[in-house]
Amino acid sequence: MSIPPPSVSSVKLAFAVAWAGFWTGFPLKMVAFLLLLAAQVHPWEGAGLAALLALSVPIDIWAVGLTARTVFLERLSVEVKGPVGLPLWGQGAALGVVMLGVAYYVVGASVGVGKTVAAAIIGLIKRVYPKLPIAEQITIELLLWTIPVVLVSVVLALVWLQLFGWRIKAFLVANGETSPAGLLERVRSWDHARVPADPWLVLGSIAGVAVLLTVAFWVFLPATTPHPHPDYPLTEVAKPKKPVKPDELLKKTETTLAKAEAILNTLEEEKEKAAKGTKKPERKGK
């Protein structure tokens, strides 16, 4: 069970797996992120971060496995019988930890050097042209230090992709089998494998989970703002109470009662008139 190394470039292969894997797991992680936020637990620190990481690892393993199998089958015509997600995710994560550590220092250093060099160049420009306006200075300075930093970051990302791509290729050589199916068959067979037998059950389950998560979200969400502005709070405008004047109040009540009595009398008179009016005269026969 061995295949020759795929001819596709390592960077392209790693990017295809990692990019699709990231976006496959992202929505699920976002749900957890939002629920933590709604419950007022910061997902970027302490227990929130720990919970999010604990949830992210299995999601990523599943996502990498799913997308890697798809890439292998559709682009390389290779099938892997055993587990894919865990071994690839493990290698990608280990490389990622190393590269992030390197990036922390390298990018940090390039930001520092870039800013110093940019400031020196601005100083030189100001010697020649002392009236350099602030808006132009900001943009020139920004470009001067961000361009090298972006380039360094891109190179580091490419190094990680190259290394991860090598590991993927080695994994394929050891575990892959060439699929005998043609392109059409491969695309369709993989489709059918992913389409469930009962789509209504799947849709119902997804809808049910969505409803459950929505309810949980609204239960967690604070009813009033948890972030009142410290400088501009809601100003309570107290309504001035009207002073009570007993004489006026009595007069007003008497007038209202008199009006009500007059209306009542009018209504009774109208009722009597109506009663008289309804008595029809007897018809005379021919």
Partner 1 sequence: MNGVAQKIYDFVDERIGLKTLEAKMMNEPIRGGSRWAYVFGSVLLFIFIMQAVTGILLMFYYIPSVDHAYASTQFIIHEVDYGWFILSYHFWGSSAMVVMVFAHMSQVFLWGAYKKPREMIWLVGLALFGLVMAFGFTGYLLPWDQRAYWATTVGVEIMDKTPIVGDFIARFLKGGPTPGQMTLSRFFVIHVMILPAALMGLAGLHLFFFRSAGPAGPFRGTTEELKAKTDFFFPRQVWKDIVAMAVVFLTICSLALIEPVQLLEEARPDPGDYHPEPEWYFLFLFQLLRWKIFFGEFGQFVAATAIPALFMLLLAALPFIDRSPERNIFKRPIALVSWAVVMIGILVLTVSAILNREFLD
Q: What is the contact surface with partner 1 in residues (CB under 8 A)? A: 23, 26-27, 30-31, 33-34, 37-38, 133-136, 138-139, 142-143, 146, 183-184, 187-188, 195, 199-200, 217-218, 221, 223-229, 232-235, 237
CB-nearer residue toward partner 1: 134 or 274: 134
- Phi then psi dihedrals of residue 78, to 5 deg: -125, 135
Residues shown for the chain: 286
CB-nearer residue toward partner 1: 7 or 224: 224
Tell the smallest beta-carbon distance from residue 67 to partner 1 (Å): 12
Q: How far apart are CA 155 and CA 163, in angstroms?
A: 12
Tell the smallest beta-carbon distance from residue 25 to partner 1 (Å): 11
Tell the smallest beta-carbon distance from residue 284 to partner 1 (Å): 59
Reduced 3-state DSSP string for 147-211: HHHHHHHHHHHHHHHHHHHHHHHHHHHHHEEECCCCHHHHHHHHHHHHCCCCHHHHHHHHHHHHH
CB-nearer residue toward partner 1: 146 or 153: 146
Tell the smallest beta-carbon distance from residue 271 to partner 1 (Å): 44
Q: How far apart are CA 233 and CA 203, in angstroms?
A: 45
Q: How far apart are CA 186 and CA 76, in angstroms?
A: 11
CB-nearer residue toward partner 1: 237 or 275: 237
